[in-house]
Amino acid sequence: MISLSSYAFVSMMLFSIGVIGVIARKNIFVIYMSIELMLNGITLFLVTFARYHFNLDAQVMTVLIIAIAAAEAAIFLSVIILLFRSKKSLDTDVFTTLTQGEKS
């Protein structure tokens, strides 16, 4: 029998891998995909608790989260296109024009 903890383990693993991807990588595409992965881990958690409590509100929240992820995908990818056009690189260390202090 599959317990609640195993679903929680899988969703927390996915969320943590997303956090690690945001921390460790410099490729802006991989950072975007890690954010998507974090959203997916959270939706898995929500759906697990919807089944656990036999309540549909968490599934509705998941539908709303998926809609937010679609909007985020459109904006993020167009911003990536603009950044790549202007700097010809995917490195996040290049996009430092909004920071104060010395130029890298």
- Contacts to another protein from residues 23-42, by CB under 8 A: 23-27, 29-30, 32-34, 36-37, 40
Asked whether position 96 contacts another protein by CB under 8 A, the answer is no
Asked whether position 19 contacts another protein by CB under 8 A, the answer is yes
Q: For every residue of 4-64, which 3-state class applies, written as one string?
A: HHHHHHHHHHHHHHHHHHHHHCCEHHHHHHHHHHHHHHHHHHHHHHHHHHCCCHHHHHHHH
| φ, ψ of residue 97 in degrees (nearest 5) | -70, -20
> Please, which residue, 1 or 98, has the CB nearer to another protein?
1
Q: How far is the CB of 46 from another protein (least distance, A)?
A: 9
Asked whether position 95 contacts another protein by CB under 8 A, the answer is no
Q: Interaction with another protein in 50-79: which residues (CB under 8 A)?
A: 50-52, 54, 56-57, 59-64, 66-75, 77-79
Residue 53: which residues within 8 A CB-CB, separation 6 or more?
Answer: none
